[in-house]
Amino acid sequence: MNGKIKTYQDTESFHNGDVTIYVRSAGKKPVYQARIRTPLGTGYIVKSLKTIDRDEAYRRAIDLYEELWFRAKAGEEVKSKSASKVIEEYLLFQSHKSRFANTEKQIGDHFRSFLGKKTIGAIDTKLIEDYFTHRRNQRYQGRQLSENTLNSEGG
């Protein structure tokens, strides 16, 4: 541990303890955070509410709580690993294969940097199409990427 003790200020709970808002005193900015128990008891989601106003924090936390419940009722995943973490696990699994250097470059570098901080649940057909549009617009050594390169990335 880095020696900092986490302390929470202005803590309030709602909805039978399923929603808690608080300010972390160890944070860089004193903004409200939310801790929301996920539907079906699969843990918690902790998210910055990006406001210093208590009433606005309450509204944002309740909105997030309701969004999670609607997503759960629709059968969607509400708590998802980061795409970067899934890519890291995949690369570890693939590391013994002969074409690992290509896989590491294509997925580990290009796709991971395109995804940024997205969760694995955010990846859909539209995002994949956007990725390949992005790659088509990139240049390597002054030239546009070939369709063969893009096909091998997609394959």
pTM above 0.75, yes or no: no
Measure the CA angle with vertex 125, ends 123 and 126; round to 5°: 90
101 and 121, same domain (yes or no):
yes
Look at the chain and report how many structural domains it folds into.
2
150 and 89, same domain (yes or no):
yes
- Contacts of residue 98, defined as CB under 8 A and 6 or more positions apart, other chains included, come to none
Which of 47, 73, 99 is the last residue before a domain boundary?
73
32 and 57, same domain (yes or no):
yes
Question: Coil, helix or strand for 67?
Answer: helix
In tens digits, what is the pLDDT along the chain, a chain of 155 residues?
444 556 777 889 998 889 999 998 766 778 999 999 887 666 888 888 999 999 999 999 999 999 888 878 877 777 777 888 888 888 888 788 777 777 777 777 888 888 888 888 778 889 889 988 888 888 878 888 888 877 777 76
Measure the CA angle with vertex 113, ends 109 and 31; round to 5°: 145
Asked if the structure places residue 54 within a domain, the reply is yes
99 and 126, same domain (yes or no):
yes
Asked if the structure places residue 23 within a domain, the reply is yes
Domain limits at 144? 83-154
Asked if the structure places residue 2 within a domain, the reply is no
